[in-house]
Amino acid sequence: MELTHRPRRLRQDRIRPLVSETSLEPSDFIAPVFVDATTEERVPIESMPGHERVPIDEAVARVEEVLETGVEAVMLFGIPRSKDPDGTRAWAEDGVVQEATRRITSETDAYVITDVCLCEYTSHGHCGPLEEELRDEEGGVDEPIHGHDATTTVDNDATLESLENIATSHAEAGADMIAPSGMMDGMVGAIRGALDSSGFDHVPIMSYAAKYESAFYGPFRDAADGAPSFGNRRHYQMDPANAREAIREVELDVEQGADVLMVKPALPYLDIVADLRREFDHPVAAYNVSGEYAMLHAAAEKGWLDLEEVALESLLSIKRAGADLILTYFAEDVATRLQG
Ligand code: PBG
């Protein structure tokens, strides 16, 4: 055979690293950490093997474990000691994330990013206070809401005020970066304004900019106890059918001052990651979510997949698609392997 082009020449062992287009570093990863104000002991999360909800007293120890693997950043999620219809514990000075942030930033060098949302704090599990017509005297809902009514739930503009309070309280506690995940219109601008006017103009915002209404969040909702008690999140999170809408949605966040743009979930939405990489010059983050983690673990448990290999390949794919930062429950395992 007279073949001029033989791509296999560059696939030989010693040349492969030289022509490799993508590489992963532990510093690419952000490890999610769950801090739980309702427990005094670490509680394993069943659907996310290897992950736990840790009490506030263990938050520093948990973050130190992350740092030991070479991962330098954590994303904090809180489970509050109590919930109410407006989610007021989300901006309490002695709230779970505020307290954990204070301790972690004073005792470790971790870069602390805080998730800013209300769904773990509201009694109804939606990402903000409910619209007027749905509220009973206490602001909650009496009965499950079905059908058409289930699609009008969260009061967008009332939520913005709460998000401003949450973001400011996190920054006051020492958070290095604020990550709003509620998909409310105007949330980035509202938070930027609140941070700037309280002396936190140096704190960047990583917006969950293109966040889809995804069934892949299932295990997280167990982990963080944040499932909506009625309806769904369809009227604020994006329709999985839409890609062009993501560009429009992200443009708005850019105009409002977002510093880092996130796509979530990651693997089923790599086209969106690639689109953002092409359309914007901002750093792009991708959230390899709980369901993506859980399904690989479940298959590995059955002996159907090699967990270490599929985890590494998944993260490599996310980076190759254009993500600069990767939020992933595999952060510690893959970082440990990369270091070793
Ligand atoms: C809160 C939030 C969610 C996730 C991150 N922040 C849940 C949701 O939107 O329902 C999901 C993360 C994961 O599945 O790993 N709004």
220 CB near ligand 1 (under 6 Å): yes
**Ligand 1: does its nearest atom lie under 6 Å from the Cβ of 323?**
no
Distance CA 283, CA 276 (A): 9
E strand residue ranges, the chain: 29-36, 43-44, 52-54, 73-79, 111-116, 177-180, 206-211, 260-264, 284-288, 325-328
Asked if 48 and 293 count as a contact pair (C-beta separation under 8 A), the reply is yes
Tokens 């949330």 sit on residue = 187
Q: Is 211 a catalytic residue?
A: yes
Q: What is the predicted pLDDT for the residue at 233?
A: 84
Q: Is 329 annotated as a binding residue?
A: yes
Residue bearing tokens 């298959």 = 299
Over residues 38-49, the pLDDT tens digits come to 999 999 999 999
How far, in Å, from the CA of 213 to the mean position of ligand 1?
Answer: 10
With a CB cutoff of 8 Å and minimum separation 6, the contacts of 45 are 34, 51, 52, 53, 219, 222, 223
Q: Does the CB atom of residue 90 touch ligand 1 within 6 A?
A: no
pTM (global) more than 0.90: yes
Q: Note whether 64 and 108 are within 8 A (CB).
A: yes
Average of pLDDT values for 103-128? Answer: 95
* Ligand 1 contact via 164 beta carbon (within 6 Å): no
Q: Is 249 annotated as a binding residue?
A: yes
Collapse the DSSP code of 109 into the 3-class scheme (helix H, G, I; strand E, B; otherwise coil) and give the result: coil
Confidence band (pLDDT; 50, 70, 90) for 84? very high
Q: In which band, very low, low, confident or very high, does the pLDDT at 225 lie, cut at 50, 70 and 90?
A: confident
- 163 within ligand 1 shell (Cβ under 6 A): no
Q: Has 138 been labeled as part of a binding site? A: no
Residue nearest to atom 11 of ligand 1 (CA): 217
Q: What is the ipTM for the molecules in this complex?
A: 0.95
pLDDT at position 295 is 97
In DSSP terms, which residues pair with 206 in a beta bridge? Answer: 260
CATH class of 21-339: alpha beta
Residue 119 annotated as binding site: yes
Higher pLDDT, 152 or 310: 310
Substitution candidate for ligand 1 out of 181, 232, 264 with most atoms within 8 A of CB: 181
Atom index in ligand 1 nearest the CA of residue 290 equals 15
264 is catalytic: yes
Nearest to 75 by CA among 110, 108, 112, 105: 112
Non-local (6+) Cβ contacts of 301 within 8 A are: 49
The answer to whether the annotation marks 314 as part of a ligand binding site is no
Query: How many whole angstroms separate alpha carbon 100 and alpha carbon 268?
Result: 32
pLDDT, position 143? 59
Whole-number Å distance between alpha carbons of 317 and 333: 17
Residue 226 CB less than 6 A away from ligand 1: yes
Q: Measuring CA to CA, which residue among 82, 79, 73, 130 is closest to residue 104?
A: 73
Give 228's pLDDT tier (boundaries 50, 70, 90): confident
Ligand 1 centroid distance, CA of 117 (Å) = 9
pLDDT above 80 for 137:
no
Q: How far is the CA of 81 from the centre of ligand 1 (A)?
A: 19
- Record the tokens describing residue 103, joined without a space: 């301790």
Q: What is the pLDDT of residue 136?
A: 74
Q: Is the pLDDT of residue 147 over 60?
A: no
Q: What is the mean pLDDT of residues 110-123?
A: 96
Residue 207 neighbours by CB under 8 Å, 6+ apart: 179, 180, 187, 188, 253, 258, 260, 261, 262
pLDDT at 249: 97
| Cα pseudo-dihedral 318, 319, 324, 327, rounded to 10 | 40
Instruction: State in Å, rounded, how far the first CA of the chain is from the last one.
Output: 42
